[in-house]
Structure 1
Amino acid sequence: MDPNTAEQLSALQPMPEVREVRDPDKVAEELVERSPVIDLLVLGARDGDPVSVAEHARGVDQDLSIVILAEPSRLQQIKRRVRYAPFLSGDVVCQSLAESDSVGRVLGEALVRTRQRRKHHDDVAATLAKLEAPKVWQPNPKQYLDRLLDHAPIGVAAVDYTGEIRTWNRLAASVFGLQEEDVIGAQLTEFFHPSDRRRLEDFISESTANGDKPSPGVFRAQGAHDDNIRQLEVTAAAVSSRSGVPGALVLFKDVTQQMAQEVERQRIEAQMRRAQKLESLGVLAGGIAHDFNNLLVSIVGNADLGLLLASPGSPVQNALIKIKVAGGRASELTQQLLAYSGKKEVRIEAIDVNPLVSELKNLLEVSISNYVLLDMVLSVDLPLVRGDLSQISQVVMNLITNASEAIGEHPGSITIATGTAMLTADECAERKTNWDVSEGVYVFIDVSDTGSGMPASVREQIFEPFFTTKFTGRGLGLAAVAGIVRSHHGAIEVQSELGVGTTFRVLFPAAPGAHLDAPKHETLEPAMERSGKGTVLVVDDEREVREVLSEMLEIFGFEVTAANDGIEALDIFRASPDAYSAVILDLAMPRMGGAETLQAIRAIRPDIPVILCSGYDEDHALKGDSRSAFLQKPFKLSTLINKLEEVLG
């Protein structure tokens, strides 16, 4: 840059920063690095090609003013080139160095033009930015709040520091059935259940006392025009009036349906758990009954063997008879266990309830409290009922046992009464919710006690599984009773008064056309001739059972071969199938069960007589097999011999 030009630039006001670039090729690079800080480009024409440099500069910055200072001899040539340069347009001035007095003015004017252009472009960009920016919409505050409250999906009430309602939205009106004008000035707690009002006051006070957000509380509310109780989930927050008076904003949501659904879900889950427990208890009860029946085979069988050897009228004979009686009662208990477990086949027969009740009275008198007097009032000429004898016995025993426990260790009485009742169609309809009954005559069994009685809340639950009010109870007695009565198409009625006592009435449909089966009498006496012939294969996995069966058979003249399971029995039988007159086979054995063993034996010798024994009830797989018979454990000696003679023909 010549000294004169430098002097002219330094004289400009305000004085610009001047940067000199000696290499023309570096001009565009300098512009890029400093754009848009550079406002004026001054090019000298003494050396190089100023027009080409100007073209590159214009490509970098369209707003930049360019001044080319040239010798007079080259000035016209440079102007022509600038005019026809294809990439050079805009503010480009060619100035003669000979006119030194005007150089400063030209430079100053060019600098001003650049700054004006830049400012104009900045203003346009700012204006466009404002035009393109989204307009910020501001709602009317009061209208906004009113609409928000009216369309909120929860009830909203604003209360002052005294608890009086000052605002009440549309959903609140829907929940309580009261419009805003009906509640302004009333206490909010008035619309909630009386027993929840104090708790609601404390909840709102606690919620507004500090800045914490407490967990929602659930409170009961009642509508103005109905008696339906609603469950409301309530939250509260502190607010103040314009003058700074404190108050509260109370929000509530109706969760009645959700809570009912949750209760129903929990009820179903509890019902499933109870069903699983009942199933497990049923399996346990069946297993106990089976194993106990195996023990009773040995007890009752040895007692029978002892009676064959005992002298008539001797103390030994009397003791053995008592053992047999006790074994019989124990067998009845196992039948009840099997019935409870579902592994006892229901045997429907005609039943006279009066002898049944009398028998049970004698049985239970020794087991109930000594303070309790057990009495009977039996109607004569009762019609028969059809049902399972052991199950109906279980019903009566459970009711008498419960009555005794209700009286406890205090003087009292239990009365068992029988009679008939006529259920009309209307009476049946009243009972349809819980019992499957039809219009007609019913035989009833009443069990009344003078115990402590039951409140209504207990009466509503007594037939639910696992519900009990007894410390040692398991809650299965009355649930099992209800199940038996339902299966017999009967019903149960309960009357109870605290401090007076309780009466259970069990109704069974009468069967006027039914006839009692002829009583069965044992045909075998101990003194009968012992004339058994042939060899019997005895198969049982219990050693005590094998031994007592072998002794029973041998004492009556049979020869016996014993096997401890189905696999051993098949090995023995295959060796000499014609050597055996009959097979006595246990059903429940390890390795190979009785039913599978029976099929294998039949495959070897189809005509072999077989007696199957089990602590459970008769297996359905055995039905239809004319060459097989069934004995349920425990059984008496006479029953065994009679059954064996029956299959031998």
Structure 2
Amino acid sequence: MGEVLLVNVEPNTAELLFAPEPIPALRSVQDPEMVKEELTRRPRAVDLLVLGASRGDPIRVAEDARGIDQDLSIVILADPARLEQIERRVMYAPFLSGDVTCQSIAENGSIGPVLNEAMTRTRQRRKHHDDVVATLTRLEAPKVWQPNPKQYLDRILDHAPIGVAVLDYSGEIRAWNRRAATVFGAPEATVLGARFADFFHPSDRKRLEDFIAESASNGDEPPPQIFRGHRDQDDDSRQLEVTAAAISSRSGEPGALVLFKDITREKEQEAERQRIETQMQRAQKLESLGVLAGGIAHDFNNLLVGIVGNADLALLLASAGSPIQKALIKIKMAGGRASELTQQLLAYSGKKEGVQIETIDLNPLVSEMKNLLEVSISKYVSLDMVLSVDLPLVRGDLSQIGQVLMNLITNASEAIGEHPGSIMIATGAVVLGSEECAQWTTSWDVSEGVYVFIDVSDTGCGMSASTCEQIFEPFFTTKATGRGLGLAAVAGIIRSHRGAIEVHSELDAGTTFRVLLPAAPGARLDAPPADTNELNVEGHAEGTILAVDDEQHVRDVLSEMLETFGFEVETAGDGIEAIDIFRESPNEFCAVILDMAMPKMGGAETLRRLREIRSDIPIIICTGYIEDQTFEGTGPSAFLQKPFRLATLMSKLEEALGRSLSAPIDPSSG
């Protein structure tokens, strides 16, 4: 039975009202504002609300209560004098309807039957309301299809994309789904009762058992771990991601539910991504080093022009055999060695100037280098070669490819040291398809086609994998005193020839370098160049030459050299200034000597504009290096590599002008 909530009615008065009926649970409040709180806090706990009309406004309290609980019966107790007024207000109250009874209270009067009937009506209305709601819910609710629980679970396990194994307390398999059978190649019927750990690599079994035991004893599921699983004794390469959780049998015995996923392919793909990222980073690093090396060499060559050129000019004035002449010759020799270093820097960057491209048969070159180097390598080292018959020809710079061979053979000899060993040089041809090209790193521009290879193998000390990764970086060396650019220059030369180089090495097992150069199908050997060692230096030069360079000291040295030959010289600091000077009197000049890398307007654009003004003007490009530059229309008449000597400058002028020159050049100046 529910409660009776009394408002402005004393409990002892209520007891008299209910007599002789049984007295229900009574709860009394004197503040009408508490009614809403009581009905809201304990819904349906009150079956009857009894309001005393002696204080406050019972009609308003009744309206608030009916707004919260529309099934609640309400009885308003009033003195006989106010009863009619209360009834009239109830009748016309807009929010009061249903079971509201107004009752007069006579002294010592009992209305127990009236109150009990009101409580009964509350309970009846609530039951009726609940029945209606239940009926409507049942009629509106869709019929839900329920699967067979066992069949449902079996299907989930069989079609799950991960392996599932149920283990007992000893680690033996008691259930095994279809995916597990696929992963290990073992159907459930053949594995029941077997130890789960036996399907994993022996070195992983103890760790796996500890992991499952920890998972089964710990309420918190530990993160997955990776173990090596195998299908047979020869296949330990599978990578399985394993998770485990505690379960128990129907009789309460502990066990474990193990879930595992074959992530072998994901791991291989991840390793491949990391390999490609490493290659890309290495390629970017080498490219950055190449740009840096090329820039340093360019600036250094400009400085060497002043050093070597002024030494040449000073030698013209020095007395033969004097201390000054000897000092100047030493300066020139040091400048020559510095120039060789810049050439190695340029070779590494792939921007070496003065490249003479010709058709080459590598076999005679290898034979020549073998004969040349046999006397310079260690006496304990034998140098052998295996040359392929009918080797395809290649296009390249003979001296640069010779430098590659020399550096590789020298490096092999140093790796053997003062111990007996051998160096083998082999040539051959290979066809690279798309799969073979994909194996080369992004550092090399390798495309499909026929390549000629040169292998240089030694029986030396070998190198570690980390050393092989850095071997082509400039200034990297394994020697205590080494700081050169040998193998870095090799890499740059090969890169400029659109080739590739790779190294295979093992510690204490030797090293093999393989150089790949694109074959030139259908190419024929070029005729040997004419002998140009002798220069005709009789007579004096005439005419005006326009010398263009952005470095003041280069313009000064070049002017003095040209004036030594007898030329008049005008100079310009950039391409725009040169064009303005040349446009004023183009026929006044017999030649232009033009720097390649200049601000405002580069050498290639300046050459094009000069040729638009006068198409037959001889132009010599003078630079420290030349990138892959395409000249529109007719190219330059000659290339002059910085730093240069008087004799070299004369030779290039004769080549550009098509006639011999003469100048009072001292033989000691070279």
Distance in 2 between residues matched to 1:213 and 1:469, nearest whole Å = 50
Q: Which residue of 1 aligns with 2:278?
A: 270
Alpha carbons of structure 1 residues 47 and 310: separation in structure 2 relative to 1, 3 Å: closer
Distance in 1 between residues matched to 2:15 and 2:419, nearest whole Å = 135
1:188: how far off?
1.0
Q: Which residue of 2 aligns with 1:637?
A: 646
From 538, 541, 558, the counterpart of 1:549: 558
Q: Which amino acid aligns with 2:547?
A: V
Distance in 1 between residues matched to 2:510 and 2:59, nearest whole Å = 114
Distance in 1 between residues matched to 2:433 and 2:78, nearest whole Å = 117
Alpha carbons of structure 1 residues 610 and 224: separation in structure 2 relative to 1, 3 Å: closer
1:436-494 Cα offsets, whole Å, 9 max, x none, are 7878xx98755343313579x899x7799779996579999879868977997989898
From 131, 145, 170, the counterpart of 1:162: 170
Alpha carbons of structure 1 residues 552 and 31: separation in structure 2 relative to 1, 3 Å: closer
Aligned partner of residue 38 in structure 1, secondary structure:
strand
Q: Which residue of 1 aligns with 2:63?
A: 32
Count of matched residue pairs: 601
Unaligned 5+ residue runs, structure 1? Answer: 1-5, 70-96
Q: Which residue of 2 aligns with 1:113?
A: 117
Alpha carbons of structure 1 residues 174 and 10: separation in structure 2 relative to 1, 3 Å: closer
Alpha carbons of structure 1 residues 34 and 335: separation in structure 2 relative to 1, 3 Å: closer
Contact map agreement 1:412 1:449 (CA 8 A) in 2: no
> What TM-score do you get using the length of structure 2 for normalisation?
0.69
Alpha carbons of structure 1 residues 613 and 273: separation in structure 2 relative to 1, 3 Å: same
Distance in 2 between residues matched to 1:480 and 1:149, nearest whole Å = 62
Matches within 5 A, 1:252-401: 252-298=260-306, 301=309, 305=313, 334-335=342-343, 337-344=345-352, 347-351=356-360, 353=362, 356-357=365-366, 373=381, 375=383, 385-388=393-396, 389-401=398-410
State whether structure 2 residue 132 is matched by structure 1 residue 123. no
Q: Which amino acid aligns with 1:278?
A: L
1:577: how far off?
6.0
1:575-596 Cα offsets, whole Å, 9 max, x none, are 7766544332212223443345
Distance in 1 between residues matched to 2:420 and 2:84, nearest whole Å = 135
Distance in 1 between residues matched to 2:402 and 2:344, nearest whole Å = 9
1:127: how far off?
3.8
Alpha carbons of structure 1 residues 139 and 39: separation in structure 2 relative to 1, 3 Å: farther
1:288-333 Cα offsets, whole Å, 9 max, x none, are 3323433454455456557767889999999988987886776566
Contact map agreement 1:539 1:565 (CA 8 A) in 2: yes
Q: Which amino acid aligns with 1:522?
A: N
Alpha carbons of structure 1 residues 279 and 623: separation in structure 2 relative to 1, 3 Å: same
Q: Which residue of 2 aligns with 1:21?
A: 53
Distance in 1 between residues matched to 2:654 and 2:247, nearest whole Å = 97
Q: Which residue of 2 aligns with 1:90?
A: none
Distance in 2 between residues matched to 1:566 and 1:436, nearest whole Å = 38
State whether structure 2 residue 247 is matched by structure 1 residue 247. no
State whether structure 2 residue 459 is matched by structure 1 residue 450. yes
Structural RMSD (CA): 5.5
Aligned partner of residue 290 in structure 2, secondary structure:
helix
Contact map agreement 1:44 1:50 (CA 8 A) in 2: no
1:281: how far off?
1.8
Distance in 1 between residues matched to 2:474 and 2:329, nearest whole Å = 40
From 186, 189, 201, the counterpart of 1:193: 201
Matches within 5 A, 1:458-473: 471=478
1:348: how far off?
3.5
Contact map agreement 1:296 1:327 (CA 8 A) in 2: yes
Q: Which residue of 2 aligns with 1:60?
A: 96
1:15: how far off?
6.5
Aligned partner of residue 74 in structure 2, secondary structure:
coil
Contact map agreement 1:375 1:413 (CA 8 A) in 2: no
Q: Which residue of 2 aligns with 1:521?
A: 532
Aligned partner of residue 613 in structure 1, secondary structure:
strand
Q: Which amino acid aligns with 1:113?
A: E
Deviating more after overlay: 371-380 vs 553-562: 371-380
1:622: how far off?
4.0
1:111-153 Cα offsets, whole Å, 9 max, x none, are 4432332221133234445554889999987666555544544
1:376: how far off?
6.2
From 620, 623, 630, the counterpart of 1:611: 620
Aligned partner of residue 60 in structure 1, secondary structure:
coil
1:192: how far off?
1.7
Distance in 2 between residues matched to 1:417 and 1:152, nearest whole Å = 58
1:322-361 Cα offsets, whole Å, 9 max, x none, are 9878867765664554354343587541335466457756
Q: Which amino acid aligns with 2:183?
A: V
Matches within 5 A, 1:212-223: 212-223=220-231
Aligned partner of residue 640 in structure 1, secondary structure:
helix
From 538, 545, 554, the counterpart of 2:547: 538
Alpha carbons of structure 1 residues 648 and 198: separation in structure 2 relative to 1, 3 Å: same
From 169, 188, 212, the counterpart of 1:204: 212
From 404, 407, 416, the counterpart of 2:413: 404
1:182: how far off?
1.7
Alpha carbons of structure 1 residues 592 and 13: separation in structure 2 relative to 1, 3 Å: same
Q: Which residue of 1 aligns with 2:5?
A: none
Matches within 5 A, 1:34-183: 36=72, 38-39=74-75, 44=80, 52-53=88-89, 55-56=91-92, 60-65=96-101, 109-128=113-132, 132=137, 146=154, 149-183=157-191
Q: Which amino acid aligns with 1:343?
A: K
Q: Which residue of 1 aligns with 2:567?
A: 558
Q: Which amino acid aligns with 1:625?
A: T
Aligned partner of residue 262 in structure 1, secondary structure:
helix
> What TM-score do you get using the length of structure 1 for normalisation?
0.71
1:273: how far off?
1.4
1:531: how far off?
0.3
Distance in 1 between residues matched to 2:187 and 2:474, nearest whole Å = 46
Contact map agreement 2:18 2:112 (CA 8 A) in 1: no
Contact map agreement 1:371 1:411 (CA 8 A) in 2: no
Distance in 2 between residues matched to 1:378 and 1:113, nearest whole Å = 120
1:62: how far off?
1.5
Distance in 1 between residues matched to 2:512 and 2:94, nearest whole Å = 114
Alpha carbons of structure 1 residues 321 and 618: separation in structure 2 relative to 1, 3 Å: farther
Distance in 1 between residues matched to 2:588 and 2:321, nearest whole Å = 41
Q: Which amino acid aligns with 1:190?
A: D
1:253-300 Cα offsets, whole Å, 9 max, x none, are 222333233223323322321221122122122223323433454455
Q: Which residue of 1 aligns with 2:35?
A: none
Q: Which amino acid aligns with 2:99?
A: D
Alpha carbons of structure 1 residues 553 and 492: separation in structure 2 relative to 1, 3 Å: closer
Contact map agreement 1:399 1:447 (CA 8 A) in 2: yes
